[in-house]
Amino acid sequence: MREKLSLLRYVLAGNPVTLLALVMLAVLLGCAVLGPSLVPYDPIATNTSVALQAPSAAHWFGTDQLGRDVFSRVVVAARLDLSIAFAAVLLSMAIGSVLGAAMGYFRGWLDTAASRATDVLMAFPLFVLAMAMVAALGNSVSSVVYATAVINLPFYIRLARAETSIRRDMGYIEAARVGGSGHARILRVFLLPNILPSLVVQASVNLGWAVLNTAGLSFIGLGVRAPTPEWGIMVAEGAQFIVSGRWWIAAFPGAALMLAVFCFNLLGDGLRDIVDPRSRT
Amino acid sequence: MSDALLSVRDLSVEFRTRSGIVPALRGVSFEVAPGEMLGIVGESGSGKSVTAYSVLGLLEASARVTGGQAIFGGRDVLRLGQAALNELRGAEMSIVFQNPRTALNPIRPVGAQIADVIARHDPAPPAVIRERVLEALRQMRIAEPERRASAYPFELSGGMCQRIGIAMALACAPRLLIADEPTTGLDVTTQAAVMDLFRDAVRARGVGSILITHDLALASQYCDRIVVMQTGKVVEDAPVSEIFARPRHPYTQRLLRSTPSSVDRIEDLVPEEEPVAPAPPRAPTSGPPVLEVRGLRKSYALSRPGLFWWRRNTERLQAVGGVGLAIQPGEAVGLVGESGCGKSTLSRMICRLIQPDEGEVLLDGEPIHRIAPGRFARMPQRRQIQMVFQDPTESLNPRFSVFDAIADPVKQLMPREGTALLRQRVERAAAQVGLPLALLPRYPHQLSGGQKARVGIARAMAVEPRLLVLDEPTSALDVSVQAVVLKLLTRLRRQEGVAQLFVSHDLNVVRLLCDRILVMHKGQVVESGPAEQVFNNPAHDYTRSLLAAIPRLPMPQEAGTL
């Protein structure tokens, strides 16, 4: 454990950008967990007397057309956006890694069939596929989770398959077979834990996409519905006011979205450096 | 001395790592005379490669030269900028790398790669360059140089790739050539051919050269002078004849005595502290063999079957073609052959890791070849045959502690035993292989190569097998560690009575360890017999060529008994 910490310190010292990403992640998670109890105004309560006010000391990010405080709504929205993204990514990682690892380990017909199915899935424009799925499954938060999980699935399958293919012929797998382990146990105990680090790197980058995908779907009116605070909806609602000079309604949720995606991408790069054995010299 | 081609003085290099500054070289000094072949010998981590790379200015970013000088052609090459080094490298001095396949660009014909080097330092019309490329290939005695020049590295064998590498290094007639373990990945017979060519080419041109190797015997056969390095220091620097007749430094003496070809009996190998039980008086065993194999065959499809039945290719490569052998309880049998001879396939079929196409595997007289490998993993007989793998690092799960690694087969194969008994078994196995109990909670990356090898052996021994199949268990280890492991294996056989099938490419090692030797060539056993007989009176031509290719140490006077 102490060695892991010292490795972390070593990597972060040569990589201050990752430290920045970690700080940003802490802020985002803080908003998601504590947001509703921290914000100064009720994010849903309307008050038309203060509608469309520019940012001020009372309303840091201004107010929207119904007089709701944009700051409160941006902070509270973090919980919903991040929950959808985390749930979707966890789902696709769980299914994709087991399926991909089995494909790489057993090869044969399972691999051939599932690889071609993955290729078909990748051939679709992914966002259009997600739109179609939400439309078919019904306009709810859970269908956004499923749709996002499905479009991310191929990345995990391919990664897990490739990482398993490298390891399936290594000495410790053969040693496990000589030591009396069956196929299921080799996959569970020997292969999956060893491919996990690279999957976690992929997951971190994927979280950014998932946040963007969720916001994108609600921007065009699928999934989460108004008046729920959600970054995509807020950008969509604010877009019509930009022409009249009220930029703050769309700009602040847009900036929050950008920061979240940015943070996960940086974090992914940093994790890759930590996992990469070449950085351990 | 001003007549030296390269003169290295007090060279010090350090590496910046996670655990602070690590010195790699501490005041290394040596000289290479024109036309001389200098051997730099040492074990891994001794700094022999770092020395070569610092002279060529090829050190990686985390390394820093902290002192000393390297005078080459009147200039200190350690002080030269990259532009000046680029002029020098390839033209004045060049290097042959360890792995010929990774040192060549895989997507460019080899002739074009040699032409690149010539064009960089000696621009000429394409026709002239092409002629020089062919000349360079001809000098490496590459048949049909016109055709080979347009081949890609993956179309050539490892030995051929290394000849190309040497041709490339010599293409611009350098005055100094450094070869960094040029034959480490090659078979002994290929190694002998490549090294002969290397020496002839270097001699014919009067090029000064440095051969970096871990193999004292190889260096003794080809070099004029040898520098022995240990932990970043030169411990001995002497002409070949002197260093073997009168090694002065204790480390050199120890290195010599751990080289298998230098001794006749396993007991003579250093280190002496590893006790070897005396060989028990062995009555000729008349009982059934612990393992018997009859007419075992295995072939592989040369190309993957197509998706559709009509594209299925029926061409197959015969890996093992009808092999039979029997191993008596407590006997050690050596299986020797070069890469691709089928010895690994055979040992994996015996261990029931792969299914033979034909033939029988009998364990204690009971056929086990009909049980599918997946199902055999859960059979009680699984315990009886255990295996030790080639690469000690690769054969340990990085996420298992030493205790887990040794305990895992016990848990799977003897599930009815309790936790207390499990702990006892693991500790007993660790004690058997001389692994301190304090190492049990550690993880593989915290262990040395020799400790990892011990864990691999302890894991196999923990379930008390009757047959241990050892697949090149020492080929990834330094000679001094190899000596320890060989002694350990001998002790296990004599004390525990476990039979051993020792698979190796190294006849010298097998001779020390085994009662009987089988020589495999192209999927067949071409010769078998008692170890001494195969080694001293080989009957088959292939065995003779194998023996002739092994580098030997020049024997001091008393070694006339061999």
Q: Do A175 and B389 touch (CB under 8 A)?
A: yes
**Residue B524 near residue B167, CB atoms below 8 Å:** no
Q: Which amino acid is at B305?
A: P
CA distance A20 to A48: 39
**What is the chain B residue with the closest CA to A4?**
B18
Q: Which amino acid is at A63?
A: T
Tell whether omega for the bond before B260 is within 30 degrees of 0, i.e. cis. no
Q: Which residues pair with B70 in a beta bridge?
A: B8
Nearest to A179 among B394, B398, B409 (CB): B409
Which of B475, B464, B470 shows the shortest CA–CA distance to B514? B470
* Contact residues for A189 (Cβ-Cβ < 8 A; gap 6+): A176, A181
Please report the ipTM that was assigned to this predicted complex: 0.80
**What is the chain B residue with the closest CA to A112?**
B307
Sign of the dihedral defined by the CA atoms of residues B20, B24, B25, B26, in that order: positive
Nearest to B353 among A7, A178, A193 (CB): A178
* Contact residues for B1 (Cβ-Cβ < 8 A; gap 6+): B7, B31
Structure tokens that stand for B225 in this block: 């002078």
pLDDT tens for A93-150 read: 999 999 999 999 998 888 999 999 999 988 888 889 999 999 999 888 999 999 999 9
Q: Per-residue pLDDT for chain B (562 aa), expressed as one digit of tens each?
A: 457 899 999 999 998 877 778 899 999 999 999 989 999 998 888 889 899 999 998 888 888 899 999 999 888 999 888 899 988 888 899 999 988 888 899 999 999 999 999 999 988 899 999 999 999 999 888 888 989 999 999 888 888 899 999 999 998 889 999 999 998 878 888 899 999 999 998 988 889 999 999 888 899 999 999 999 998 999 999 999 898 888 899 999 888 888 888 887 887 777 665 566 666 655 455 678 899 999 999 988 765 555 555 555 567 788 898 898 999 998 999 999 888 888 989 999 999 888 899 999 999 888 888 888 778 888 888 899 999 998 888 999 998 999 999 999 999 988 888 888 999 999 999 988 889 999 999 988 888 888 999 999 999 999 999 999 999 888 878 888 888 889 889 988 888 889 999 999 888 889 888 989 999 998 999 999 998 899 889 999 999 998 888 888 876 544 433 3
For residue B191, give how far its alpha carbon lies from the nearest alpha carbon of chain A (Å).
Answer: 26
| Topology at the third CATH level for domain B6-258 | Rossmann fold (3.40.50)
**Residue B357 near residue B298, CB atoms below 8 Å:** yes
Q: Do A183 and B460 touch (CB under 8 A)?
A: no
Q: Do B377 and A194 touch (CB under 8 A)?
A: no
CA dist list (Å): A212 to A70, A203, A229, A255 = 19, 14, 15, 12
**Residue B345 near residue B513, CB atoms below 8 Å:** no
- The CATH superfamily label for domain B291-557 reads P-loop containing nucleotide triphosphate hydrolases (3.40.50.300)
**What is the chain B residue with the closest CA to A6?**
B18
Chain B residues within an 8 Å CB radius of A172: 394-397
Structure tokens that stand for B384 in this block: 């009886």
Q: Which strand (E) or helix (H) includes residue B376?
A: helix B373-376
CA distance B346 to B516: 17
Q: Which residues pair with B40 in a beta bridge?
A: B212, B227
Sign of the dihedral defined by the CA atoms of residues A205, A206, A210, A216, in that order: positive
Pairs from B145-148 (Cβ < 8 Å, separation ≥ 24): B148/B110, B148/B111
pLDDT tens for A188-215 read: 999 999 999 889 989 988 999 999 999 9
For residue B126, give how far its alpha carbon lies from the nearest alpha carbon of chain A (Å).
Answer: 41
Q: Which residues pair with B94 in a beta bridge?
A: B177
Chain B residues within an 8 Å CB radius of A171: 389-391, 394-396
Chain B residues within an 8 Å CB radius of A174: 348, 353, 387, 389, 395
For residue A181, give how far its alpha carbon lies from the nearest alpha carbon of chain B (Å).
Answer: 6
Chain B residues within an 8 Å CB radius of A6: 18
Q: Report the residue of B347, B352, B394 to disrupt the A interface, i.e. the one with the largest count of A CBs within 10 Å.
A: B394
Report residue B65: phi and psi, to 5°.
-80, 120
Helix residue ranges per DSSP H, B364-446: 373-376, 402-413, 419-432
Nearest to A178 among B387, B394, B398 (CB): B387
CA distance A209 to A86: 11
User: Residues of CATH 3.40.50.300 domain(s) within chain B?
Assistant: 6-258, 291-557
Rounded (10°) angle between helices A248-275 and A16-38: 130
Nearest to A175 among B62, B383, B459 (CB): B459
Judged on CB neighbours under 10 Å (0-12, 13-18, 19+), B560 is exposed
For residue A233, give how far its alpha carbon lies from the nearest alpha carbon of chain B (Å).
Answer: 45
Chain B residues within an 8 Å CB radius of A281: 15, 17-18, 62
**What is the chain A residue with the closest CA to B376?**
A180
How many cross-chain Cβ pairs, A to B, lie less than 8 Å apart? 72
Q: Do B459 and A183 touch (CB under 8 A)?
A: no
Q: What residues of chain A have any CB closer than 8 angstroms to a CB in chain B?
A: 6-7, 10, 112, 170-172, 174-183, 185, 190, 193-194, 280-281
